[in-house]
Amino acid sequence: MVLATAAFAQDVIPLYPGTPPGSSPETYPEKQYFSKVWNTEVVSNVTKPSLTVFKPSAELKNGTAVVICPGGGFMALSIASEGTEVAQYLVKRGVTAFVLKYRLAHTGEDATQEFVTAVADRQKFHDTVGAIVPLAIDDGLAAVKYVRQHASEFGVSPDRVGIIGFSAGGAVTAGVAFKYSPESRPAFVAPIYPGGESFKDATVPADAPPIFLVVASDDQFGLAPAAVGLYMQWLTAKKNPRNCTSTPKEVTASARARTACRPTTGSTASPSGWRWKAG
């Protein structure tokens, strides 16, 4: 996996020149490891947000760019299954991809095990991640702004820069959809089973970008209502949302719920079977 990732990744770009706005200087290191709990490569303790760039070949490049926000409950990032593998899929289709490491709550030896414990107690989970959520959304906004401002360097159009995120990364993506400035407005947003932040009282911007939503009715973390809420907000605002949903009868086990909108061919643990078009 590491060798495959290295073959596609071109550059790692710090999102801020120094300590990120709203944060204090931290001394604990970022950590990347294979989580036995989640059975995938993860990153924890991100204090210095960055973008890892994945560039398509000149023959394939189509001028579209996507910022990718992995999920992980704001305590870790599922950096392979919801980050680099998604980037590799898009690069093969001509899209320039930017995997975002956004700020996370401080965790210890195994962030994924801590997440399992924390999420069982909603108040404990909120106490753990509540303060970091708006900072992670700020990182999403800064990422879109950076790619748009540097679009010519990457051979993409500033008007074709979108953002996709999974679970907690989906909440970051939804936050960007509501809170952008003219400089950080994405061309499209794709919150995939978004969670972690409620936007039910937020106003859809007058120039809101198109939104694409994916969620399973029996999502194990109960994220379907929030995604449906986003869909209805865009629909009410006449912004033509697109969605992909599944019913419990289409998913035989809750562990499969998050792959229900993928085709049955290929691994359900990998986004390589996704069928969607950016731009």
CB 42 within 8 A of CB 111: yes
Report pLDDT for 275. 37
204 and 225 Cβ atoms separated by less than 8 Å:
no
**Mean pLDDT per 10-residue segment, the chain (279 residues):** 47 95 93 97 98 96 98 97 97 97 97 95 92 97 98 97 97 97 98 84 94 89 88 87 47 35 34 35
* Cα distance from N-terminal residue to C-terminal residue, the chain: 28
Question: Which pLDDT score is estimated for 187?
Answer: 97
d(CA 194, CA 179): 16
Q: Which residues pair with 213 in a beta bridge?
A: 243
Cα(54)–Cα(6) distance, rounded to whole angstroms?
Answer: 10
Q: How far is CA 218 from the centre of its chain?
A: 20
Q: pTM of the entire structure?
A: 0.86
Contact 52, 12 (CB under 8 A): yes
39: phi > 0 → left, psi -120 to 50 → alpha, else beta; which? Answer: left
| Assigned CATH class of 2-16+28-273 | alpha beta
pLDDT for the residue 193: 94
Task: State residue 245's pLDDT score.
Answer: 53
Domain boundaries, the chain: 2-16+28-273
Structure confidence at residue 241 (pLDDT):
63
